[in-house]
């Protein structure tokens, strides 16, 4: 950037964003969050904006299989990473077992936190299978990937649900975990 360049002009970068197995060549404003890129540029509105500050979990997606809050992730940093959103959880027309369990257990009301809950649950179950402990895991104990309710509640506490569907969310996840 040379000296007479307008400092207010957006800095942009060309990159390839890979979402749900599809590559999107795009030019991004370096200020752009992954959440806004998905929602405003790619019309992938499954990820929700609840706070834009990493406080609610509604925007949770998976980056290389790990859950992240996409509102705190700059798109420009994601060249060559694989992103999975709620739109990519199903296997073709067959819903992911968590999606089916959420409907059956009525683990959603308004549905606005739901995509974040689902992506978070997918990431969380993978963490448990990898043996990652949580604060409620007994000291020195190993993680039982079937997860009891206290483990699920603890590990899902980054995803707020104002409708108060927690009891059903935990039941739905527990069914899939076992």
**Which positions lie near ligand FES, rule CB under 6 A?**
49-52, 54-59, 69, 71, 108-114, 161-163, 165
Comparing CB distances to ligand FES, the nearer of 51 and 174 is: 51
Distance, CA of 53 to CA of 61 (rounded, Å): 15
Q: Closest approach of Cβ 36 to other proteins, in Å?
A: 6
- Is 19:37 a contact under the CB 8 Å cutoff? no
Binding to other proteins, residues 30-59 (CB under 8 A):
31-32, 36, 39-40, 43-53, 55-56, 58
The 109-138 site mask, x for binding other proteins (CB under 8 A), equals xxxxxxx--x--------------------
List Cβ neighbours of 63 (8 Å cut-off, separation of 6 or more). 73, 78, 81, 82, 83, 84
For the record, the structure tokens of 27 come out as: 């030019």
For the record, the structure tokens of 131 come out as: 């043996």
Pick from other proteins, ligand FES, none: which does 59 bind, CB < 5 to 8 A by kind? ligand FES
Comparing CB distances to other proteins, the nearer of 73 and 114 is: 114
β-bridge pairing 82-84 and 12-19? parallel
């Amino acid at each position: 950037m040379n000296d007479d360049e307008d400092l207010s002009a957006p800095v942009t970068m060309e990159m390839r964003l890979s979402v749900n197995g599809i590559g999107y060549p795009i030019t991004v404003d370096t200020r752009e969050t992954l959440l806004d890129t998905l929602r405003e540029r790619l019309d992938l509105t499954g990820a929700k904006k609840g706070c834009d500050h990493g406080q609610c979990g509604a925007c949770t997606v998976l980056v290389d299989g790990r859950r992240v809050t996409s509102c705190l992730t700059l798109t420009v940093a994601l060249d060559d990473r694989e992103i999975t959103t709620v739109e990519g959880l199903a296997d073709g027309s067959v819903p992911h077992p968590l999606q089916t369990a959420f409907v059956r257990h009525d683990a959603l009301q308004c549905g606005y936190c739901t995509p974040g809950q689902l992506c978070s649950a997918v990431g969380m179950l993978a963490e448990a299978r990898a043996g990652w402990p949580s604060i409620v895991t007994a000291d020195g104990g190993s993680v039982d990937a079937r997860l009891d309710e206290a483990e699920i509640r603890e590990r899902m506490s980054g995803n707020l649900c104002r409708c108060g569907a927690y009891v059903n969310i935990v039941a739905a996840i527990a069914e899939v975990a076992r």
